[in-house]
Amino acid sequence: MVALVQTVAYLGLEVRAVEVQCQLASGLPAFQIVGLPDKAVGESRERVRAALAAMGLALPPKRITVNMSPADLPKEGSHFDLPISLALLAAMGITDGEQLSEYVAVGELALDGRIVAAPGALPAAIHAGQNERSLICPAAQGAEARWASETGIVAAPDLVSLLNHLKGTQQLPVPDRGRVADAAIGPDLKQVKGQETAKRALEIAAAGGHNLLFVGPPGAGKSLMASCLPGILPPLTTEEILETSMVQSVAGLLQDGQISRARPFRSPHHSASIAALTGGGLKIRPGEVSLGHLGVLFLDELPEFQRNALDSLRQPLETGEVSVARANAHVTFPARVQLVAAMNPCRCGHLSDPALACSRAPKCAADYQSKVSGPLLDRIDLHVEVEPVSVRDLALPPPAEGSAEVAARVRAARDIQTRRLAGTPMRDNAGLAGDALDRFATPDDAGRDLLMQAAEKMRLSARGYTRLLRVARTIADLAGAESVGRTHVAEALSYRRQAPRA
């Protein structure tokens, strides 16, 4: 007799159905797992053995073979413990194997028989619902799984409770949905003294989803302004919440099933590797650019990052997704992220102040900024030079306008874009392309003349030209203008990259 239990394998956010087959046969006692298991799956043998022993059960003195089909699909993760144990219990006749065909099971086993959390409960619940099955998952992840289904979630704290529930001698409670956290606010823009040009660029970036780079001396407020961005971004829509929660679930970051309306804000240290930024590793996991999906990736001290790590972001910034290729798997994660970066103009940081600049200025500026490749800089829409803040500016009272007022304008501009792009896969002006770009972002005659002159003088690339049009469209939306005019193009041009000052 062969007992069957349904479970899943994860390839990025893609969920693949896996059938766990267990057979007890005559022969020397053995417990073998086949079907391309990784080390964590291979170690399931000992966890399952200990969990059954905690229930007072011993493995039968037979040859136990567990096959995970399809056999050519790599199996990674500890969530296979529970389906393996259920298939074994069904083969032993302790639970009804036919009843188990109605379920998809995921979960890790503790040595004492508890069912503990493993990454991926939310996408597993969505897969189970699409295939008209219920999900068996750890009790700790019941609230997370409930976001995918109103019913059909069996959240079990341990194997004994689960078996009793399946036999009808105990009723496990239906878990409540996790809490929805409000959008994160962060520092208020009222804390930023001066820097009106930089704050205006931050507003434009938030309104259109554009990439932004601050260049300025230490202590000018670059990091503070970047941390103010979550407070002026609009909250996620219901559809976007599900997208970001799927990534966090696969990464094992959803705590107590709590999801958030706040857009992700990721700020990795400059020592981050390529795998940390874009995903990968021995067990493929989403990187920072995917964990920031539909939110912000903030890279402080940009030139201090490894150059090859920064260049690995070029494709995700352009396509909105990142593909991790391995010999036995090709995994794709979403990566529609808004890049905000900050850097000093040179190693010492005081290029514009002769009294503080080092003896290598201005050559040190060219050397330092050359650590960031031109193609990556070409993908950044807004380049802002942040000037030092004087003591006199710091002594001034807080500005009258803060994050709340800016957020209202950003929300109004985003609403315009939502109505304009309804029915298209584009979400904001940063994604305008093709016919939509020509239709909505082509400037009027005066704006076109200015654009042509500037494009020739500044030697804009095709990508730079396109991104300039997108920024001009956002500036027009903030002004409530139907079409892109000369003033909108002029302001967009002022944020294009400037060469290091000699």
| Residue pair 51/99 in contact by the 8 Å Cβ criterion | no
Distance between CA atoms of residues 9 and 468, nearest Å: 42
| Residue pair 79/120 in contact by the 8 Å Cβ criterion | yes
Burial of residue 151 (CB within 10 Å: 0-12, 13-18, 19+) is: exposed
- Give residue 500's pLDDT: 42
Intervals of CATH 3.40.50.300 along the chain: 189-494
Intervals of CATH 3.30.230.10 along the chain: 2-167
| Residue pair 77/120 in contact by the 8 Å Cβ criterion | yes
pLDDT in tens, the chain (502 residues): 799 999 999 998 899 999 999 999 999 999 999 999 999 999 999 999 999 999 999 999 999 999 999 999 999 999 999 999 999 999 999 999 999 999 999 999 999 999 999 999 999 999 999 999 999 999 999 999 999 877 789 999 999 999 999 999 999 998 888 888 776 668 999 988 888 899 999 999 999 999 999 999 988 899 999 999 999 999 898 889 999 999 999 998 888 888 888 899 999 999 999 999 999 877 788 999 999 999 999 999 999 999 999 999 999 999 999 988 876 678 899 999 999 999 998 877 667 666 566 766 677 777 888 889 999 999 999 999 998 887 777 777 888 889 999 999 999 999 999 999 998 888 899 999 999 999 999 999 999 999 999 888 888 889 999 999 999 999 999 999 999 999 999 999 999 875 444 3
Point out which residues pair with 340 in neighbouring strands: 212, 298
| Residue pair 317/463 in contact by the 8 Å Cβ criterion | no
Distance between CA atoms of residues 25 and 65, nearest Å: 8
- Give residue 497's pLDDT: 72
> What tokens appear for 495 in the block?
């944020």
Structural Rg of the chain based on CA atoms: 27
- Give residue 177's pLDDT: 87
- Give residue 501's pLDDT: 41
State the distance between the two ends of the chain, measured CA to CA, in whole angstroms: 80
Helix, strand, or coil here: 401?
coil
Distance between CA atoms of residues 255 and 140, nearest Å: 9
Region 2-167: CATH code: 3.30.230.10
Evaluate whether the domain defined by 189-494 bears CATH number 3.40.50.300: yes
Which long-range CB contacts under 8 A does 44-50 form with residues at least 24 apart?
44/78, 44/80, 44/81, 44/84, 44/109, 47/78, 47/81, 47/108, 47/109, 47/110, 47/111, 48/81, 48/84, 48/85, 48/88, 48/109, 50/109, 50/111, 50/112
| Residue pair 68/20 in contact by the 8 Å Cβ criterion | yes
| Residue pair 298/340 in contact by the 8 Å Cβ criterion | yes
Reduced 3-state DSSP string for 166-195: HHCCCCCCCCCCCCEECCCCCCCHHHCCCC
- Give residue 169's pLDDT: 93
Residues near 397 by Cβ (< 8 Å), separated by ≥ 6?
none
